[in-house]
């Protein structure tokens, strides 16, 4: 009797879980990123032109100071549905970290945008100029040459 009740309860739980998964599918939140060897200004301007001109999408918000572009993504894959998208950029010192997010789209779609941006940067700016490292200046540690580090003893 107890086994039958446990079996029925387990079966009922499984049925509820399957029904919830079918009726209330979760949002897919993926993102793709890459490191751009170009300057922040070059990367931002190329991303803005890619979204607005090349892809013909509507830019909903942009800020060059913080380096992000928000846009409405519409493709043949999504039909008539408009999906919010964003391209965010961050200067890490060695490169520009670019993150593309297209809510409710496959990660492959985000990767296509990344690949298009990388190609656009190469086509428009050529080979990137070498970036200087922020560590070019010596550290002011005890081994730095300074008259104050010499011992008087």
67-94: pLDDT as tens digits: 999 999 987 666 778 889 999 999 999 9
Residue 111 pLDDT level (bands cut at 50, 70, 90): very high
**Beta strands 58-63 and 31-36, pairing class:** unpaired
Report the mean per-residue pLDDT for the chain: 76
Note the pLDDT of residue 17.
Answer: 38
- In this structure, the number of other CB atoms found within 10 A of the CB of residue 87 comes to 26
Across residues 98-114, what is the average pLDDT?
Answer: 89
Per-residue pLDDT at 37 exceeds 50: yes
Q: Are 22 and 40 in contact (CB under 8 A)?
A: no
Residue 4 pLDDT level (bands cut at 50, 70, 90): low
* Per-residue CA distances from 89 to 39, 81, 109, 146 (Å): 10, 26, 18, 39
């Amino acid at each position: 009797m107890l086994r039958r009740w446990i079996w029925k309860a387990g079966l009922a739980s499984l049925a509820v879980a399957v029904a919830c998964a079918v009726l209330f599918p979760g949002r897919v939140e993926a993102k793709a990123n890459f490191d751009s060897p170009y300057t922040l200004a070059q990367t931002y301007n190329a991303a803005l032109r890619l979204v607005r001109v090349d892809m013909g999408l509507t830019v909903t918000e942009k800020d060059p100071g913080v380096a992000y572009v928000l846009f409405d993504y519409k493709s043949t894959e999504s039909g008539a549905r408009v999906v919010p998208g964003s391209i965010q950029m961050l200067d890490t010192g060695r490169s520009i970290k670019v993150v593309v997010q297209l809510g409710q789209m496959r990660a492959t779609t985000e990767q296509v945008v990344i690949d298009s941006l990388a190609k656009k940067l190469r086509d428009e700016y050529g080979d990137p100029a070498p970036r200087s490292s922020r560590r070019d200046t010596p550290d002011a540690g005890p081994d730095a040459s300074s008259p104050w580090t010499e011992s008087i003893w």
